Structure 1
Amino acid sequence: MNYEQQIQAFYNQLETNPLTPSGIATWHALMQVWQKAGWPKSFTVAVSVIAVKSGMKVRHFYNIRKELEEKGYLTFTSRGSGQAAQYAMTDLSTNLHHQPRALYAPDRTQASASTASQPNAQPSSLLIKENNIKENNKDITPFRFYEENGFGRLSPFISESINAWLDDPTFTEPSGVVIEAMKVSLLQNVRTWGYVSKILQDWSGKGLQTVGEIRAEREKWKQKMAAYHAEKKEVSQHEKSMHSSAADYSSYDFGF
């Protein structure tokens, strides 16, 4: 079993076979147990353990487990007499290989040719960073973007945090805004969800709702900082000139 392919296939399937946030967290918790057990055909685990790993109440688990089974993400067998149920997770990664390759990996040759054909293209460190951020299609989810761009494996806690922002009415384009925050984080060479959350909180506090508004605000900030540094450089050069002039006067014979 390839853990990364299983996660990737899971989020692909969510696009057409969605789960509740609790369902996503529970699936991740069960996946972690399955991995820890060494990928057996089936395994047992106590409800209390899954409740702790997924952060939900035990009384809610049974409905969530039923949801996962009905939507084909797992099967389970209740054993009764106080024994833990037996689970068999669906191997979703088998469907991954039947998808068009372009959906999962950009055509680097085509991208390079396209860049080379632009006569005014100018290399810059920022442009290189932006081009290295993976966003292979317009329908990419924040969950998939998170894992494909080096933030790490999705834990139930991170999944719930992302879902909280997606469900928050603050942003009118929640999915795009969350991905935009991760891009900003990457451009700062930071790959932590905590940093992304701070960015989202900052945008929320400023009343920014769409990706367009956020980019416009960032552009204004860049121009302001550029003007500040230009002014600072001008003042520095002026002071240097004044010091230079003073040095010249000190060596001049005024005839006193």
Structure 2
Amino acid sequence: MTYIDRLNNFNRWLESNALPANSQLMYFKLLGVFNRAGWSRSVQVDTPRLMQLTCCRKDAAYRARDKLVESGFISFHRGGKGNPSSYFLSEKTTVYATTNAAPNATHIKNKNNNKTKTINTNPIKTYDLKDIEALAGLRLPEHL
């Protein structure tokens, strides 16, 4: 999954799901950290850096991180004194229906040019990478 794919999936997920602003900022900042690290499997981020990335206090940074974990975008292994936590990006993949005219689609007429625009209102389904592997019968490399 590319950097742009991750950004697009995250933004699409946010269209129908709520996530606090601090959590959103943390995800974008962590993507930047992974990018600078050459997309390694994990990155180590200590608490002061986590606070600096999100411009918030320790408790708010921890809450933001926990929300990202709950939503499935990251996971982490807690570090100890003098040993920063390790962060991992999940392989959460959001799949969107792309049917042109679904039975519950909404049609909107534009006032200016009277063209009809069809908006698909089907619910969005979210799958993680293991679900997709199972559905497709594929085995993907571990380093993704």
TM-score range, shorter chain: 0.5 to 0.7
Q: Which residue of 1 aligns with 2:9?
A: 9
The TM-score, its normalising length taken from structure 1, stands at 0.37
Within 5 Å, give how 1:1-256 maps onto structure 2: 1-92=1-92, 94-95=93-94, 98-101=95-98
Unaligned runs of 5+ in 2: 101-112, 122-144
Shift of 1:86: 0.7
Cα 1:81/1:53, change in 2 over 3 Å? closer
Shift of 1:30: 1.0
In 2: Cα distance, 1:52 partner to 1:81 partner: 19
The TM-score, its normalising length taken from structure 2, stands at 0.62
Deviation track 1:130-161 (CA, whole Å, cap 9, x = no partner) reads xxxxxx9589xxxxxxxxxxxxxxxxxxxxxx
In 2: Cα distance, 1:17 partner to 1:83 partner: 33
In 2: Cα distance, 1:3 partner to 1:51 partner: 23
Q: Compute the RMSD of aligned alpha carbons.
A: 2.7
In 1: Cα distance, 2:20 partner to 2:120 partner: 23
Shift of 1:12: 1.2
Which structure is higher in strand share?
Answer: 2
Query: Any conservation in 1 of the 2:78–2:84 contact (CA below 8 Å)?
Result: yes
In 2: Cα distance, 1:52 partner to 1:86 partner: 17
Kindly report structure 1 stretches of 4+ aligned residues shifted beyond 3 Å: 100-103, 136-139
Unaligned runs of 5+ in 1: 104-120, 122-135, 140-256
Query: Any conservation in 1 of the 2:54–2:61 contact (CA below 8 Å)?
Result: no
Q: Give 1:29's aligned amino acid.
A: K
In 2: Cα distance, 1:14 partner to 1:84 partner: 29
Q: Give 2:97's aligned amino acid.
A: P
Shift of 1:101: 4.3
In 2: Cα distance, 1:82 partner to 1:76 partner: 16
Cα 1:49/1:79, change in 2 over 3 Å? closer
In 1: Cα distance, 2:50 partner to 2:119 partner: 34
Query: Any conservation in 1 of the 2:76–2:86 contact (CA below 8 Å)?
Result: yes
Q: Give 1:27's aligned amino acid.
A: Y
- Tell me how many residue pairs correspond in the alignment: 106
Cα 1:43/1:15, change in 2 over 3 Å? same
Q: Aligned residues: percent identity?
A: 23
Query: Any conservation in 1 of the 2:99–2:120 contact (CA below 8 Å)?
Result: no
In 2: Cα distance, 1:57 partner to 1:79 partner: 18
